[in-house]
A and B are shown apart, each in its own frame.
Chain A
């Protein structure tokens, strides 16, 4: 199985400041179809996970543009340009290039 490793696991941030989460995969996520399948999910307290970013850098509908994804191969990053109170929750990366699909451990974002 592809192992997804996130860091940090806990991220206290100040409102209005940027935040960055790293995700590394144990194998390349570049698929033979030419796409790189790395997704990011947000789970707010008491809610189901919600997909924010797909294929490394594509924002899902309704996702604010303060969220951005980047990376290639095995190294990926989710950035929040200016953290807002509604961004509190746990963020997970997930690879969709290989079976079985696997998730990172999650990064808990909280306000300082």
Chain B
């Protein structure tokens, strides 16, 4: 399983940032599979942002809910995260992660991408 993030390295305040996670080794069409996003501030704090499951169930961080949208492409080989109205506090490294859930158990963030650094500055 591999995941790779891509997106702009620099954004201006108030802009919308679109990040793409391209993965291989699993299918988002398979029952139980999920792909999510976690970011890390320059100081090191990890913050979970959003997660989408194979059946289109979506979960968002309440602190960013109205600014985040997570979607998958029609072929389900990419997951896209959109963050609107960015601000310098959104500066950080954004990671894409794999999850899996079943009726018996949930398995969070067992695989991570390399991360992509986004800097918000005017």
Contacts and interface: CB of A to CB of B under 8 A. Distances in A.
B109 A33 contact: no
A51 interface: yes
Secondary structure call for the A interface: loop
Interface stretch (A15-23, A70-78, A101-109): A101-109
Interface string B3-47: 000000000000000000000000000000000000000001111
A37 interface: yes
Interface residues of B, number: 24
Contact of B113 (A41, A48, A55): A48
B47 A33 contact: no
A51 B45 contact: no
A39 interface: yes
A103 B107 contact: no
Interface string A44-57: 00001111001100
Name, among B45, B106, B113, B115, the residue most crowded by chain A CB atoms within 10 Å (CB to CB). Answer: B106
How many chain A residues sit at the interface, stated as a range, is 20 to 34
Contacts of A83: none
A49 B105 CA distance: 22
A102 B48 contact: yes
Interface of A: 1, 31, 33, 35, 37, 39, 41, 48-51, 54-55, 60, 90, 92, 94, 96, 99-103, 105-106
Interface of B: 44-48, 51, 59-63, 95, 103-110, 112-115
26 contacts: A1-B62, A33-B103, A33-B106, A37-B106, A37-B108, A39-B108, A41-B46, A48-B95, A48-B112, A49-B95, A49-B109, A49-B112, A50-B112, A54-B108, A60-B110, A90-B44, A92-B46, A94-B109, A96-B106, A100-B59, A100-B60, A103-B45, A103-B46, A103-B48, A106-B44, A106-B46
